[in-house]
Amino acid sequence: MTTAITGSCFCKAVQYRITSAIPMAVNCHCNKCKKAGGAAFSSLAVIREKNLKITSGKECLTTYQLGENLAKHFCSRCGTPIYNINNRYPGRCMMALGSFDNPSVVVPSVNIHCENRLAWVLLDDKMQNFEQDYS
Ligand SMILES: [Zn+2]
Ligand SMILES: [Zn+2]
């Protein structure tokens, strides 16, 4: 039995609940994540799409196509990224870890797109580090 994980955007218009444990989380250092998140890298929890329930503010949840296969979902009121959908990983949701009410519930185990990592972002060598994607 796991306690449900909840989260929201900054303004709390969009709220959600994740109805499963989190199988994994990654730090993505790609340049799209830098632009789309406004930070040095994105921390993303990978879950099954069916386990994400938007409990409030569906009407504020807006989609922006970052690329052919990648769509960002964010709050149109405050701009907080909530999740990404990548068509290369059907049925998966990449949740923006910082939008969790308790982001410490999951610890990223993998760094991806390290070839685009900023030099001052230090990697933990206990994590799995990939130059590009996992594949
Ligand atoms: Zn908001
Ligand atoms: Zn990325």
Q: pLDDT over 70 for what percent of the chain?
A: 97
- The bridge status of strand 81-86 relative to strand 92-96 is antiparallel
3-state SS, 1-36, equals CCCCEEEECCCCCCEEEECCCCCEEEEECCHHHHHH
> Tokens 């009121």 correspond to what residue?
77
pTM of the predicted model as reported, rounded to 2 decimal places: 0.93
The pLDDT value recorded for residue 35 is 95
Ligand 2 centroid–CA 121 distance in Å is 15
C-alpha 75 to ligand 1 mean position (Å):
5
- Return residues with CB closer than 5 A to ligand 2 (ion): 28, 30, 33
CATH of the domain spanning 5-129, picked from 2.170.150.70, 2.40.128.30, 2.60.40.10, 3.50.30.20:
2.170.150.70
pLDDT beyond 60 at 135: no
pLDDT band at 2 (very low <50, low <70, confident <90, very high): low
In the reported structure, the alpha carbon of residue 23 is separated from the centroid of ligand 2 by a whole-number distance in angstroms of: 18
Which residues, chain by chain, have CB under 5 Å from ion ligand 1?
9, 11, 13, 75, 77-78
Which of residues 28 and 134 earns the better pLDDT score? 28
Q: Which ligand is nearest to the CA of 12?
A: 1
Q: Which helix (H) or strand (E) holds 55?
A: strand 52-56
pLDDT digits 0-9 by tens, 50-96: 999 999 999 999 999 999 999 999 999 999 999 999 999 999 999 99
